[in-house]
Structure 1
Amino acid sequence: MKHIVGVSDMIITDNKDDIIVTHALGSCIGVAVYDPVACVGGVLHYMLPRSGADSEKAKKNPLMFGDTGIPILFESAYKAGAIKKRMRVVIAGGAQVFACENVFDIGKRNTLIARKLFWKNNILISAEDVGGNKPRTMYLEMQTGKTWFTSRGEYKEL
């Protein structure tokens, strides 16, 4: 079954028949996690780096922010049976798709917060495709743990 992760949302599954996809990763970041032994995986699509930017929105939807969404993704994967040392982590997005974005550098800041959180928690990023100026669609196939993205006709396995 195909599951679509919207902006400021996530999905965790342990169904081998599932494929998780998230669209429109411009400045947003998609984080895919997968434990091949437990066959548990998930995808988070967050918009902004820090929840302190808008505490009201953070209370309503902590998945909107990297600093709150990433821990929720990992905690949810652990509850479903994933183990940190076996998990494969892939990130994509963090682009600057509009000329005016360079004022705020949201894509770069989104990428930075993910890297900082992973580094602080001794988590290695297995693969990434970040930056540039192209939007991406990211996929996670639960049967194999394969992740890939498409962008403007381009296909790249991560």
Structure 2
Amino acid sequence: MNIVVGVSDMKASNDPAGILVTYSLGSCIGIAVYDPVARAGGLLHFMLPESALDQAKALSRPFMFADTGIPRLFKAVYALGGEKRRMRVIVVGGSQVLDQKGFFNIGKRNEMAVRKIFHRNNVVIDYQDTGGNTNRTIRLFLETGQVRIKVSGEAEIAI
């Protein structure tokens, strides 16, 4: 059963029948986390690096921003029995789809925000597929923890 994670959204679950999926990650970033012991995982799809860009939106839509969404993603999986030391972490997206000339660099700024937050919190990225100029879709299979990534114009790969 697909559990769709929209833009500026996050879902966490331990339902073995669940498949967390987010579509068309361009400059946005998708972060999948999974604890194989608790068999719980979560998926975040954020748009922008810092909530300071719009404090009012950060309060009403915390998953829109890396600095407010990422902590909530981890806390949601902790609430399902997950532990940070066991979590597998996958980062996908951050491309330059709508900004081919790199004027705004939203994708790169999103990626740098993830790295900064993870560095401060001692989180290791197990797999990363970021940058470029293509859209990506990510699926997290909660029964096994397998992650599949589909890059626009390429075959889906299993991580």
1:90 corresponds to 2:78: no
1:117 corresponds to 2:117: yes
Q: Which moved more, 1:45-54 or 1:91-100?
A: 91-100
1:2-44 superposed Cα distances (whole Å, 9 cap, x missing partner): 1000000011000111111001200000000000000010100
Secondary structure of 1:91's counterpart equals strand
2:93 and 2:32 map into 1 onto residues whose CA distance is 12
Q: Which runs of 5+ in 1 are unaligned?
A: none
TM-score for both structures, normalised by structure 2: 0.96
In the TM superposition, 1:2-21 aligns within 5 A as 2-21=2-21
Q: Which amino acid in 2 is paired with 1:49?
A: P
In the other structure, the counterpart of 2:37 is: 37
Shift of 1:100: 5.3
Q: Tell me: CA distance 1:124–1:30, structure 2 relative to 1, closer, same or farther (3 Å).
A: same
RMSD (Å) for aligned C-alpha atoms = 1.1
In the other structure, the counterpart of 1:64 is: 64
1:47-74 superposed Cα distances (whole Å, 9 cap, x missing partner): 0000000111111111100011000000
Q: Tell me: CA distance 1:22–1:101, structure 2 relative to 1, closer, same or farther (3 Å).
A: farther
CA contact (8 A) 2:150 2:157 kept: yes
Shift of 1:149: 1.0
Secondary structure of 1:3's counterpart equals strand
Overall identity of the aligned pairs, in %: 49
- How many residues are matched? 158
Q: Which runs of 5+ in 2 are unaligned?
A: none
In the other structure, the counterpart of 2:54 is: 54
1:126 corresponds to 2:126: yes
